[in-house]
A and B are shown apart, each in its own frame.
Chain A
Amino acid sequence: MNKKNGTHFNEEQICKAIIDESQMLPSENEHLSDCTECRTAVESFEKDLKLLGQTAERFVPLPKKRMVLHEKAGKNFLWGWRTAFAAAITILFFVITMHSDSVKHIFYNKTEIANSELYSEDILMTEVNNLVENSLPAKYLFISDEENADYDEDFIDFVVPSVGDDVLSSTEKRGGLIC
């Protein structure tokens, strides 16, 4: 205890002395200058803090790279811009080409394409043939009597004989000749 200038510094006062001596009360300043014990306590803590800083500095690894400041700043901007532009163009190209028929040939199997084309051609030819045989649609065939068009000609002649045949046959029955 230093009776002349009051009691010894407590922990709080030691911290205050380290942070800013100007904030200390005049009595505290006076005590610190007179009391070797308190001065030692402040200096010891200060020393510890300084040592902590020095030790930390000693244990920081050395940086490996040299700074490439200007190059990086320029390169980053250009590289980023170019990359974005190239990516946009590539995406656009793929979108357009994937939707065009001519490019589909590149991506799909040629045999498959040929088979599908043959199939569609068969369907078309069947339709054409049907139209050649019967140009009318199916529902009109009944009305136009085209449905019975397939009957045998001899059978029709038998049921409905032609006029010419009738005349000849009746004359022949009478046994005379027409001159």
Chain B
Amino acid sequence: MLLAHQKKYPNSGRDRKTQAVILAEMAVAGNPNAFDQIVDLYYNTIFRMVYYRIRSGMDAEDITQDIFIQVLKNIKSLKDFSLFNSWLFSIAVNKVRDFKRKKRFTSLFGALSDKNTENEQEYEHETGAESGPLEGVIRQNFWKQFEAILNRLSSLEKEVFLLRFLDQLGIREISMALKKNESTVKTHLYRALKKIKYDSSVKELLKESMP
């Protein structure tokens, strides 16, 4: 089942970015509906971005909500609206990093982990109910292998790779989101690609996951 904001704005790359710039300007100018439209425009993209990194639907929803609250609080501090996309992703990257840090800390007290796994399975079951059990198994297998591939990369290589090829950001946007030089981003992306190119499991993963 698609939510209203999921139907309304399909991924449309540059158009969406232009639209976001206009909406950001309107939101800062005091238009109360502009921010809601930004949320509608970016909700799925940011939810996916978070999910790629933490692979928990429930947590991804909470983090996505936190990201937009942060955006709402700080949008007035944004000087150049053309950088909205990079700025939004930089907030998202930091929120994910915070979440991972907190999770690492709470995992020391293992009591919560069992309950979380149960809830997550329930969540996956509910959201994947439409696709059927076979699709569910393929999906689980995909994320397992995908994680194994990503684990061969360093943390910065992983982040740069995800931002470039899964979140579809340009080199300049990535450099702004991560606050790194463009040359540093390119170097890490180059290293990540080299590792992935030599990794035969990527081809296998794509073959197995084809519909």
Known: A60-B48, A61-B57. A69 touches B72 (CB 8 A): yes
Known: A11-B198, A20-B171, A72-B69. A63 touches B189 (CB 8 A): no
Asked whether B82 is an interface residue with its Cβ less than 8 Å from the other chain, the reply is no
* Contact with B197, one of A15, A50, A56 (Cβ below 8 angstroms): A15
Q: Whole-angstrom distance between the alpha carbons of A117 and B137 in the complex?
A: 76
Contact A55 B206 (CB under 8 A): yes
- Give how many A-B residue pairs fall within 8 Å (CB-CB): 105
Q: Whole-angstrom distance between the alpha carbons of A55 and B166 in the complex?
A: 10
Known: A67-B65, A73-B72. A59 touches B143 (CB 8 A): yes
Asked whether A18 is an interface residue with its Cβ less than 8 Å from the other chain, the reply is yes
Q: Whole-angstrom distance between the alpha carbons of A16 and B191 in the complex?
A: 10
Contact B190 A15 (CB under 8 A): yes
Q: Whole-angstrom distance between the alpha carbons of A143 and B159 in the complex?
A: 101
- Interface residue ranges of A48-67 to B (CB < 8 Å): 48-53, 55-67
Contact A18 B193 (CB under 8 A): yes
- Interface residue ranges of A37-93 to B (CB < 8 Å): 45, 48-53, 55-69, 72-73
- Chain B residues whose C-beta falls within 8 Å of the C-beta of A14 in the assembled complex: 197
Q: Whole-angstrom distance between the alpha carbons of A56 and B146 in the complex?
A: 9
- Chain A residues whose C-beta falls within 8 Å of the C-beta of B64 in the assembled complex: 63, 67
Contact B186 A60 (CB under 8 A): no
Contact A64 B123 (CB under 8 A): yes
Contact A69 B3 (CB under 8 A): no
* Chain B at the A interface: SS class: helix
- Chain B residues whose C-beta falls within 8 Å of the C-beta of A50 in the assembled complex: 165
Q: Whole-angstrom distance between the alpha carbons of A64 and B64 in the complex?
A: 12
Q: Whole-angstrom distance between the alpha carbons of A15 and B164 in the complex?
A: 13
Shortest Cβ distance from B163 into chain A, in angstroms? 11
- Interface residue ranges of B20-75 to A (CB < 8 Å): 35-36, 39, 43-44, 47-48, 51-52, 57, 60-61, 64-65, 68-69, 72-73
Contact B6 A62 (CB under 8 A): yes
Chain B residues within 8 Å of chain A by Cβ, number: 52
Shortest Cβ distance from A63 into chain B, in angstroms? 5
Which B-chain residue is minimally distant from A65 (CB atoms)? B61
Asked whether B2 is an interface residue with its Cβ less than 8 Å from the other chain, the reply is yes
Contact B194 A72 (CB under 8 A): no
* Contact with B52, one of A16, A60, A64 (Cβ below 8 angstroms): A60
Contact B2 A67 (CB under 8 A): no
* Contact with B124, one of A23, A53, A61 (Cβ below 8 angstroms): A61
Known: A12-B194, A19-B193. A62 touches B48 (CB 8 A): no
Q: Whole-angstrom distance between the alpha carbons of A59 and B205 in the complex?
A: 13
Q: Whole-angstrom distance between the alpha carbons of A48 and B203 in the complex?
A: 8
Q: B-side interface residues toward A, CB under 8 Å?
A: 1-6, 35-36, 39, 43-44, 47-48, 51-52, 57, 60-61, 64-65, 68-69, 72-73, 123-124, 126-128, 138-139, 142-143, 146, 165-166, 168, 171, 186, 189-190, 193-194, 196-198, 202-203, 205-206, 209, 211
**Given A14-B197, A53-B165, A68-B65; 12 other pairs, CB 8 A cutoff:** A15-B197, A49-B165, A52-B206, A53-B166, A58-B211, A59-B139, A62-B1, A62-B127, A63-B3, A63-B43, A66-B5, A67-B39
